[in-house]
A and B are shown apart, each in its own frame.
Chain A
Amino acid sequence: MSTHDGMEEDEMTPELRRALNALPRERDPGRLLEERTVRALRERGLIERPVAGGRVRRIPMAWLGGAVAAGIALFASGVAMGQWMGTRATAQVVQAVQAQNDRQAALLVQQTGSAYVDALEQMAALSDSGKAAPKEGREVATKILRAAADELVRIAPDDPIAGAVLAGFQRADSAQAAGAGQKQRVVWF
């Protein structure tokens, strides 16, 4: 919609023009039509009924992206921590954790996390070059991501990011269990 063409205005009397301009542009069809339409969309699987009796938690997409990134970082830190503990003096790490030295712990996570991200980048590069990404590696990465999120939830049960990652896994599990007949909602990482 844009402007009128300004044509054939001679066919329009000013009275008629005013009357047309004064016509209402909106009209409420009533609540029944809304409910009818919502029901029709539900029957077609286009919208989902809100969870009854419970507060539905809405997770913005930006959060979900952040959650995935944080989950990967968490996984990286877990793997790196393992490597660190294997190659360095275990006692030193334990000592640092026990001493609750946040700064040192963060440094360890940063160093070892980079190693994990590098490993995933190499896997991604395999895919980009046309070679199949190692399936086993991908499965392991996913499992460790889930385990890491589980651990983070244990540490901080109210953590929204770890919760969102776990919720994504649970939805994927449900969709898989529901079988091929139903519409699947897959969280892609």
Chain B
Amino acid sequence: MRAEPAAVPDHALAQALLLRGDESAFRELYTRHTPRLYQLVLRLLGGAEHDAEDVVQETWIRATEALGGFRWEAAFGTWLTGIGINVARGLLRKQGRWQPLDDAAEPWRPPPRDGDRIDLERAIALLPAGYRSVLVLHDVEGYTHDEIGERLGIAPGTSKSQLSHARRALRRLLEPVKEGSHEHA
């Protein structure tokens, strides 16, 4: 039985990309890290596929440009994801879909719905961008409130309160629609 050849570490691929502009090294890094990055930004952007593709492309451009300054204190994938979150947030802001996350703001209430029960992915996509970001990063990706605060430029306490609002809103969105009742107090 032949042993699988050892995978080239991210660090070595990044060095080849940085020093020689090695395309095959870039493609290997892309293949390893893009599926996770794409899924994350797609959720952050509420399922907008074209926007998510643009964000992934821009993320790789920025990462390749900044590779020389990356100190490898974190994993390459974590660093790349951080850039992706920033790019996604920038796009949402540019589109006017990113409202400042504020403890004092009135919690968002889902609008009354008609029709069938919606699935979880759709419900997440319906949340306001701020709620969605905190919920996705915490409850799906496993970030702590400190990490979310750092990524989104908010206080950890704000992340906690936004998560609380986001979870309530998500539960309401997932509740079965009762005929003749659109109450969502």
Contacts and interface: CB of A to CB of B under 8 A. Distances in A.
B147 A58 contact: no
B61 A27 contact: no
A38 B39 contact: no
A45 to B, nearest CB: 8
Given A38-B23, A40-B61, A41-B60, A23 B121 contact: yes
B61 A41 contact: yes
Interface stretch (A12-20, A83-91, A115-123, A139-147): A12-20
Contacts of B27: 34, 38
Dominant SS among interface residues on chain B: helix
B86 interface: no
Given A2-B147, A23-B120, A33-B56, A48 B36 contact: no
Give the size range of B's interface with the partner.
35 or more
Given A24-B39, A25-B39, A26-B39, A5 B144 contact: yes
A61 B19 contact: yes
Interface in B132-175: 138-145, 147, 160, 163-164, 167-168, 170-171, 174
Interface residues of A, number: 38
Interface of A: 1-5, 7-8, 11-13, 16, 19-20, 23-29, 33-34, 36-38, 40-42, 44-50, 58, 61, 185
Given A20-B120, A26-B35, 13 more contacts: A4-B144, A5-B145, A8-B164, A8-B167, A16-B174, A25-B36, A27-B42, A29-B38, A34-B27, A37-B57, A37-B61, A48-B20, A58-B22
